[in-house]
Amino acid sequence: MGETIQAPGLRIACGRLDAGTLAANFADAHPPLSDSQARIEADRCYYCYDAPCIEACPTGIDIPSFIAKIADGNLRGSAETILSANIFGGACARVCPTEILCEQACVRTAQESKPVTIGLLQRHATDFLMHRGLHPFARAPETGRHVAVVGAGPAGLSCAHRLAMLGHRVTVYEARPKAGGLNEYGVAAYKLAGDFAQDELDFILRIGGITILHDRRLGRDVTLASLRATHDAVFLGLGHQAVRVLSLSPEPLAGVMDAVGFIEGLRQTAKSGVAVGARVVVVGGGNTAIDAAMQAKRLGASEVTIAYRRGAEHMSATGFEQDWARRSGIRIRTWCAPKALLGEGGSVSAILFEDGGDGPLVEPADMVLLAVGQLFDATPLQEGLAPAIAQGRIVVDAHGLTSLPMVYAGGDCTPGTDLTVSAVQDGKVAALSIHAALTGSV
């Protein structure tokens, strides 16, 4: 057992499970296909001419084409088809909610209720290329143009990679010590296992022409005005930098933290060094809540409960994720609106809910994780001329252009769905628009 934080009758501890169990719990959640399995699965595809799965993919990957190449044994060609549309094809194959995107649209779904496993096939092809260190793209001749990208997450790096392909020089300004954004800091450790996020980053940077400067925070170390003055264009891939605050106690209580910070700690620390309670309650109904709950369980919590203030149909977590959590032994309680945190000796001991109008409900807990939403913080943009903001996001047109000339934005800081694959598409679209604006091309 590791260090224990004691409260009366309760505890939060590191090392609840032995190293072997932790390694198994945080191994790849969905093992890869073998070559023979991939070919058999690829043969299930109808290779539709007007494929609905392409329409359902935010990055527009030619899915029938890449699957046909797998069936023919051409894994390099398959990967090139994927990565030409989505340079984060490896990560998206692992974290995309394919069950509500391409696989839901698959013709096999309607006929057999069993779609082609597009995500696993995509992973099979992209892993083939990445494991061999084969970057499939070459840079165009230098254009002499220099673009600033703020934020080294999926949107920013997608934009940077496409711009570099087109011959532009790119400098990425990243506030954190590591690049990767959500993939590095915010995805459940069993979805992007091991060092995959950094391996994929290294793969992307093989294109050349991209410099990443770490510990450069917008509003502190650089300003939008200075970037506009020293670069030909700017792309803002700022993501969500803040979490919603839920005030349930007049004073801070040990054992209460935001779920985003909990997940980040898991991503950046040896699992044996991450403290978890015996009884954990996660407040929220999104995928972050599911990820936090699943990982608390995998760290050794004996009881994990997700409490959501409305009905299950209103939860933003996908049905697949909810079912996965239940199968993992996690209880999901709906119509539980949090009212107050109860404490003993400075530590949380329970959380009080209003249970669907039936009266108060007290749920014992020695750890409470708050997953009540993330926010875009526009404060770093407020020095000097700033792009238009509406409903808490940067306003952009269909090409990613903000209200300021040659300033573009994409990803979670702009309107739209907060998905990795959508952020990748935003970055790609903005890069093509920047290229057209800088060169006069179409």
The phi, psi pair for 362, rounded to 5°, reads: -105, 120
Q: Concatenate the DSSP letters of all residues of 57-121 into one string.
A: STT---HHHHHHHHHTT-HHHHHHHHHHH-TTHHHHHHHS-GGGTHHHH-HHHHHHS----HHHH
pLDDT at 101: 96
Q: Where in the chain is the domain with CATH 3.50.50.60?
A: 4-26+243-374, 146-238+380-439
pLDDT of residue 77: 98
431 vs 383: CA distance, rounded Å: 25
What are the Cα distances from residue 213, in Å, to 140, 179, 210?
23, 9, 10
Measured at the alpha carbon of residue 275, what is the angle toward residues 194 and 372, in degrees to the nearest 5? 85
pLDDT in tens, 62-121: 999 999 999 999 999 999 999 999 999 999 999 999 999 999 999 998 888 899 999 999
Would you state the pLDDT for residue 442?
Answer: 66
First CA to last CA distance, the chain:
62
Report pLDDT for 30.
87
- Domain boundaries 146-238+380-439, corresponding CATH code: 3.50.50.60
CATH superfamily of 4-26+243-374: FAD/NAD(P)-binding domain (3.50.50.60)
Tokens at 348, concatenated: 């949380």
Distance in angstroms (rounded) separating the CA atoms of residues 155 and 178: 15
Q: What is the value of pTM for the model shown?
A: 0.94
CA-to-CA separations, 273 to 6, 125, 363, 403, in angstroms, rounded: 17, 35, 27, 46
The confidence score (pLDDT) of residue 241 equals 86
Tokens of 299: 């760290």
Cα(109)–Cα(62) distance, integer angstroms: 18
Collapsing DSSP to helix, strand or coil, 432 comes out as helix
User: What average pLDDT does the segment 152-168 reach?
Assistant: 98
Answer yes or no: are the C-beta atoms of 418 and 96 closer than 8 Å. Answer: no
Four-point Cα dihedral 69, 73, 79, 84, nearest 10 = -30
Using CA atoms, how far apart are residues 266 and 260, in angstroms rounded to an integer? 10
Q: Residue 178, Cβ neighbours under 10 Å: how many? A: 16
Q: Is the pLDDT of residue 3 over 50?
A: no
Q: Does residue 368 have a pLDDT over 50?
A: yes
Domain span(s) for CATH 1.10.1060.10 in the chain: 35-131
CA 362 to chain centre: 33
Compare 269 and 126 and report the one with higher pLDDT.
126
What pLDDT does residue 356 have? 62
Give domain 35-131's CATH number out of 1.10.3720.10, 1.10.1060.10, 3.50.50.60, 3.40.640.10.
Answer: 1.10.1060.10
Q: Over range 37-64, report the average pLDDT.
A: 97
Give me the chain's average pLDDT, please: 93
Q: What φ, ψ does residue 48 adopt, rounded to 5°?
A: -55, 140
Cβ 403 vs Cβ 387: under 8 Å: yes
In 3D space, the residue among 91, 97, 83 whose CA is nearest the CA of residue 417 turns out to be 97
The model's pLDDT over 319-345, given as tens digits with 9 standing for 90+, comes to 999 999 999 999 999 999 999 999 998
In this structure, the chain runs to a length of: 442
Q: Are strands 10-13 and 4-7 parallel, antiparallel or unpaired?
A: antiparallel
User: What pLDDT sits at residue 11?
Assistant: 78
> Contact at 8 Å (CB) between 319 and 332?
no
Which tens digit of pLDDT belongs to each residue from 245-292? 888 888 899 999 999 999 999 999 899 999 999 999 999 999 999 999
Three-state secondary structure call for residue 173: strand
CA distance 56 to 367: 39
The answer, yes or no, to whether residue 244 has pLDDT greater than 90, is: no
> In 3D, which of 268, 320, 255 has the Cα closest to residue 294?
320
Pairing assessment for the beta strands 347-355 and 360-364 based on DSSP bridges: antiparallel
What value does the CA radius of gyration of the chain take, rounded to a whole number of Å?
23
Q: What's the pLDDT at 235?
A: 98
Strands (E), 336-380: 336-344, 347-355, 360-364, 367-370, 374-375
At 2, the pLDDT band (50, 70, 90 cuts) reads very low
> What residue has token string 């952009």?
396
Per-residue pLDDT, averaged over 197-204, amounts to: 96
46-61 mean pLDDT:
96
Sign of the Cα pseudo-torsion (213, 218, 219, 222, in order):
positive
